[in-house]
Every structure is written in structure tokens, then in C-alpha cells.
Amino acid sequence: MSIQDVDKTFAGSIPEIYDAYMVPLIFEPYALDLAARVAADPPARLLELAAGTGAVTRRLSLELPASTEIVATDLNQPMIDRAGAIGTTRPVTWRQADAQQLPFPEASFDCVVCQFGVMFFPDKPGAFAEIRRVLKPGGRLLFNTWDRLETNEFTATVNSALAKLYPENPPTFMARVPHGYFDYDRIRRDVAAGGFTRPARIEAVDARSEAATPRIPAVALCQGTPMRNEIESRAGVSLGAATDAAEQALAQRFGAGAISGGIRAHVVSVARD
């Protein structure tokens, strides 16, 4: 399996841990923000890409009018299965789909939304071209992407702790993928290369990540993301020991009880001409 495939693999127990730990830890604040932005101008038909376990989907089902049709997709079928099992307050069409080869006709949707998924697309201009193809003229694309690792305090702390555990071959997933797509110029170039002629608007959004104990973000990051695949592929330190080291680093920096850390993401919006 290539490193690109490993980076995109959410399988085994990852979907359940991701949903139970990662969603409330860092995704929920931005799900609220993104859903509110979409609801400010409700579409008739909406496509969600990289829906994961449905954090944004559930908010959209609450915020949007009942008349809005929601189609939620993800590359990983186990994530879609988890999202479908949790359910939403009203009917949603769940479908496995690759954002770089969307199985929908041209001009099918008024809005496309993607929460923290664009970073995983190997061919970002190609994915943006596909998004533009399925958007109606005047339709909107809204997505968010994490800022650099240093501005996301829990993740940066865990990443540093793991680098000390594996000095010869530290896990690089977090810096390479989730926190590797924050440069505004690059984002605008990729969107334009996908055929969007209108300039993309980008806004930084700060929030707080709260956890009852340091163990929660340690488990979330080490066991509920594809970084787990990197950890388990390395000899010498087990997944459990890596999680313990992450917990200790978090406790040392933020305290042993309830902890709070800063998180920062960027929201990108662009309309099709």
C-alpha cells in the first residue's frame, strides 16, 4: 500500500474512535460554523464531500430547510457506514464516492461542502474541476482546511511527543496531510486551476478544543486517525505505549484534569461563474 493510500485509510476501529473522540474534540466547532454559512443562503440540492462520520451532515440536516436535498459522500465506506448508523434528523442520501471522480451529472448541485477533506485529495486541482463540473452556474463551494500544525496545540504536542519516541522515523501524517494545506496562495492557485474564475475568499477561524482529561486527545489522535497506521507500522514502541506518551506530554503542557487548547482553521468559499 502506498503512503497516499495509508494516509486516506480510515478502517478497522478508526471510524468509531474518530467519531467518539475526534468529532467533539476538534470537528464540532467547525461543523457548526460551516453549516451556518451554508444555511445563510440555503441551497435546493447540496453535495457534501469527505463527510466522514457525519459531523457536518448532522448539523446541515438541522440547519437547512426540509426542502433541501442532502447527498453526503466519503471515499471510505466504513466512515459512511458509521455515519449512516448514527443517522440524521431527516433523510440523507449516503454514498461512497471519490471527489476526483464524482458519479454525478454536470450542474447537479447548488452547493458543495467539504469539511477537512480537501487536504486528502492527491490531485486537488482535479478535484476542484470535478466540483465545478457538478455545480450549477452561480453555485457555491465551501470548504475548510486546518492551519499549520503549530497553531493547533493538542496536535502539535502529540506530534512532538511521537517524534521523540521514533527519532529515526517519526510519524509525519499530521504535518503532511491535515496540517499541510494552509498556504493561501497555493489554495487560490489550485482552485483557479480547477476552472473557478472568481477569486476564492479565505478566512481564518479560531476556536478552542476542550477535553475532560489528556487521555481523550491522546486516544483521538493516536488511535482515531490514519496516524495510527504510521504508529503501528513502526517497530519498538506499541500503539498503547505511543498513546501513553502522548497523554503524558499533554498532561505536562496543559494539566492533568480538564484541558483546553487552541485550534485554527481556514474557511474557503468560491462561486462558480
CA distance 150 to 117: 20
- Tell how strand 259-271 and strand 201-211 pair up: antiparallel
- The pLDDT confidence band at residue 236, using thresholds 50, 70 and 90, is confident
Percent helix, strand, coil in the chain (nearest 5)?
Answer: 45, 20, 30
Q: Are 180 and 247 in contact (CB under 8 A)?
A: no
Q: Which residue has the cell 502539535?
A: 156
171 has pLDDT over 90: yes
* Element at 154 (helix H, strand E): helix 153-165
For the record, the C-alpha cell of 114 comes out as 467539504
CB atoms within 10 A of CB 84: 15
- What are the domain boundaries of the chain? 3-271
Answer whether residue 9 shows pLDDT above 80.
no
Which residue, 266, 270, 263, 273, is CA-closest to 119?
266
Mean pLDDT over 122-140 rounds to: 98
This prediction has a pTM of 0.92
- pLDDT at position 15, please? 81
Query: What is the predicted pLDDT for the residue at 106?
Result: 98
Residue 1 clears pLDDT 90, i.e. is over it: no
- Does the structure show a pLDDT above 50 at 6? no
Architecture of domain 3-271 in CATH?
Answer: 3-Layer(aba) Sandwich (3.40)
Q: pLDDT band at residue 18, thresholds of 50, 70 and 90?
A: confident
pLDDT of residue 10: 54
